[in-house]
Amino acid sequence: MIMMFDLFKQKLPEGFFKGACDVHSHLLPGVDDGFPTEEKTLEALAFLHNHGVQSVKMTPHFMKDYPDNTREQIEHRFHAFVEKYASAPMPKLSLGGEYMLDSCFPKRLSEGFLCLDKEHTLVLCETSYMMMEPRMKEMLYDAMLKGYQPVIAHPERYVYADKPLYHRWKQKDYLFQLNLFSLAGAYGNTAQAKAHQLLKEGVYDYIGSDLHRLNSIEERVKAIKLSNKEIDLVLKLLENNERL
Contacts with Fe ion, residue ranges (CB under 5 A): 98, 210
Q: Are 160 and 186 in contact (CB under 8 A)?
A: no
- Minimum CB separation from Fe ion for residue 13, in Å? 26
Nearer to Fe ion, 22 or 210 (CB): 210
Helix axes 38-50, 71-84, angle to 10 degrees: 70
d(CA 234, CA 205): 10
Q: Which residue is nearest to Fe ion (CB)?
A: 210
Q: Are 220 and 93 in contact (CB under 8 A)?
A: no
- DSSP-derived letter for residue 9 is -
- Minimum CB separation from Fe ion for residue 100, in Å? 10
- Minimum CB separation from Fe ion for residue 165, in Å? 20
Nearer to Fe ion, 55 or 182 (CB): 182
Nearer to Fe ion, 156 or 210 (CB): 210
- Minimum CB separation from Fe ion for residue 32, in Å? 8
Residue 162: burial class (beta carbons within 10 Å; 0-12, 13-18, 19+): exposed
Nearer to Fe ion, 205 or 210 (CB): 210
